[in-house]
């Protein structure tokens, strides 16, 4: 997590102005893993009840552009945000309930994967999304011994 002073220092270190909505968004992302905007707005409004949707959206865009927040959007999902940045980790998404979890680097050094043909690009990041079922959804689909009789 972090304190408001820590968040303010992170903002200053990237040349951003310290504002209450930006600090509140960083704090919310410290509490919420892979949060959508509705979850972030709800969490921010606990401390800043009058904050507008637009202020949160603007803060998310600014923080993402500054590299303090990462935006991910798995196919079929709304945009999600996280505060874990700079390590080129990946994600696993449940096909049933949509839960998202972090997966550390697939193999080797960043960008974790070597493209078979880089087409002349200087690749510095790879984004991988694994798809499957989370433990709860997998357990719900596993037949029990009573189902087999």
Domain final position from 72, 107, 122: 72
CB neighbour class for 37 (10 Å; exposed up to 12, middle 13-18, buried from 19): middle
Percent of the chain at pLDDT exceeding 90: 64
pLDDT of residue 145: 47
Helices (H), 14-134: 20-31, 37-47, 53-65
Do 94 and 141 lie in a common domain? yes
Q: Which domain holds residue 59?
A: 4-72
Beta bridge partners of 93: 100, 131
Could you read off the pLDDT of 22-64 as tens digits, one per residue? 999 999 999 998 999 999 999 999 999 999 999 999 999 999 9
Q: Is residue 40 within 8 Å of 81, Cβ to Cβ?
A: yes
Regarding whether 109 and 52 lie in a shared domain, the answer is no
Mean pLDDT of 67-96: 91
Please report, for the domain that includes residue 28, its CATH number: 1.10.10.10
* Closest by CA position to 91, among listed 135, 129, 36, 133: 129
Within this chain, do residues 90 and 62 fall inside the same structural domain, yes or no?
Answer: no
Which of 46, 72, 98 marks a domain boundary? 72
């Amino acid at each position: 997590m972090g304190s408001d002073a820590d968040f303010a220092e992170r903002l200053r270190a990237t040349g951003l102005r310290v504002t209450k909505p930006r600090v509140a968004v960083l704090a919310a992302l410290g509490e919420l893993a892979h949060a959508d905007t509705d979850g972030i707005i709800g969490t921010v409004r606990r401390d800043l009840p009058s904050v507008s949707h637009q202020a949160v959206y603007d803060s998310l865009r600014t923080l993402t552009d500054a590299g303090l927040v990462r935006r991910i959007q798995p196919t079929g999902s709304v945009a999600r945000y996280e505060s874990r940045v700079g390590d080129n980790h990946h994600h696993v998404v449940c096909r049933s309930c949509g839960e998202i979890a972090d997966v550390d680097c697939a193999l080797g050094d960043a960008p974790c994967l070597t493209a078979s043909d880089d087409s002349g690009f200087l690749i510095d990041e790879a984004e991988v999304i694994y798809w499957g079922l989370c433990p709860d959804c997998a357990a719900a689909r596993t037949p029990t011994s009573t189902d087999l009789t």
